[in-house]
Chains A and B, each alone.
Chain A
Amino acid sequence: MEVDARGLSCPQPIIETKKVVDKKVTSLSVLVDNIAAKENVSRFAKAMKYDVVAHVTDYGWKLELEKR
């Protein structure tokens, strides 16, 4: 599963990620293009017990979320 949160203003990246997480998806990636969205989604994912790995891309970051 992939959530494209690029260009969305706060808090939509969290809300769009939450919609997928709520479906009990264990592995997903989230595309973000600004530092606040990266930090917010990472904080949310950790609170939901996901491990987060951030890969730098040309637009910003690709966050890989994996359920612990």
Chain B
Amino acid sequence: MNISNEKKSLIVAGVITGIISVALVLLGNPTNMGFCIACFYRDIAGALSLHSAAVVQYVRPEIIGLLFGSMFISTIRKEFNPKGGSSPVLRFIISCFVMVGALVFLGCPFRMILRLAGGDLNAIVGLFGFVAGIVLGSLLLNRGFSLGRSYKQSRVEGRAIGGVFGVILFALIFIPSLLQFSTTGPGSFRAPIIFSLAGGLIVGALAQRNRFCMAGGIRDVFLFRDTTLLTGSVMVLVAALAMNLITGNFKLGFGGQSVAHTDWLWNFLGMALVGYGSVLLGGCPLRQTILAGEGNSDSAMSVLGMIAGAAISHNFSLASSAQGATIGGKVATILGFTVITVLAIVMIRARKREAVHGS
């Protein structure tokens, strides 16, 4: 069998990422939550007092590591490329809804894979939703939806999000009294800072090198039957599954899973909203974080949008709990689909009109 170098590199990166993901759980992170981009932005929003859900407040060093890992490696490889200006406000709004969807499901696409690797079958329902959302979003892109072009920006603009994350990390290490920390619940489960940060740095660098994207792999298979990118996600699943089996953390079933619920319709729709929004933004929450590290300020807007979306989710009781989705969460999910679809249709029409009038 002829395996391309790109694929080999993705296999290695996927395996390392899967192993680190389970190792972080063994070191103290919540079950199946070695990484969860959505949950971690939510915890950071809580730590900064942007919401007051006492059980989900902590500055997750993994996220800061991911961003800096991407920033370091892209700078060294001369791929740091400050650009932006492609509908920042629309990206902010779509990202808010991506976060709402993720917190209805209780995880981003990355954690969906880790939940699957832990035997949580609700994640399969989420996966179907995620794929459906990606297909729906791809159809809109095919019809001409675009958030517009980005343009070169200054180095300062490209590094700005790094500055913000640097300040938050400084506060975590030197002035933690400024921050909120959960004493119970998922936010109180945490690996030691040094391991979390190191894990984030390694995975961030690997993800930058390999253009890791949970949505991208599915998109390539759907558009032109190429499995290269998907290999990365599959290897994360395989490695994490093997690690969970070895360490006795594998628990097969729907009920009684950690930080999860069995409300299948809302698991499906929550992840569908994540997939839908992610395709239009140009990447899943992990990819947005990595791109922000590469100097993409549109993705930095997405990061800020996700933090705001997490705060909104908890301030207005939209996030699900182990008991299932809330009324508010259901309404917000439907609202998310509606807003994004209306937005897309209006933009597609406007573009067509422009094309006709030749302006």
Contact = CB atoms under 8 A, between A and B. Distances in A.
Nearest to A9: B282
Interface residues of B, number: 30
B6 A39 contact: yes
A21 to B, nearest CB: 9
Contact of B282 (A11, A33, A47): A11
Given A11-B279, A18-B223, A48-B224, A43 B146 contact: no
Contacts of B216: 10-11, 40
Q: Is the interface of A mostly helix, strand, loop or mixed?
A: helix
Contacts of B224: 14, 18, 44, 47-48
B344 to A, nearest CB: 13
B95 interface: no
A36 B288 CA distance: 13
A52 to B, nearest CB: 13
B75 to A, nearest CB: 13
B138 A11 contact: yes
B334 to A, nearest CB: 26
A36 B219 CA distance: 14
Interface in A3-23: 6-12, 14-15, 18
A1 interface: no
A44 B226 contact: yes
B93 to A, nearest CB: 16
A35 B228 CA distance: 16
Contacts, number: 66
A34 interface: yes
B149 A8 contact: yes
Given A7-B150, A44-B223, A12 B282 contact: yes
Contacts of A47: 224-226
Contact of B219 (A7, A9, A11): A11
Contacts of A10: 213, 216, 282-283, 287
Contacts of B142: 15
B151 interface: yes
Contacts of B317: none
A39 B86 CA distance: 21
A8 B226 CA distance: 21
Given A12-B141, A39-B6, A47-B225, A6 B211 contact: no
A9 B298 contact: yes
B81 interface: yes
Interface of A: 6-12, 14-15, 18, 33-36, 39-40, 43-44, 47-48
17 contacts: A7-B83, A7-B151, A8-B150, A9-B86, A9-B147, A9-B283, A10-B282, A11-B141, A11-B282, A14-B223, A14-B224, A18-B224, A33-B83, A34-B81, A36-B211, A43-B228, A44-B220
Given A36-B211, A47-B226, 11 more contacts: A6-B149, A7-B86, A9-B147, A9-B282, A10-B283, A11-B141, A11-B219, A11-B279, A12-B146, A33-B83, A48-B224
| 10 nearest A-B residue pairs (beta carbon) | A7-B149, A9-B282, A10-B282, A7-B150, A47-B224, A47-B226, A36-B211, A15-B141, A11-B219, A35-B79
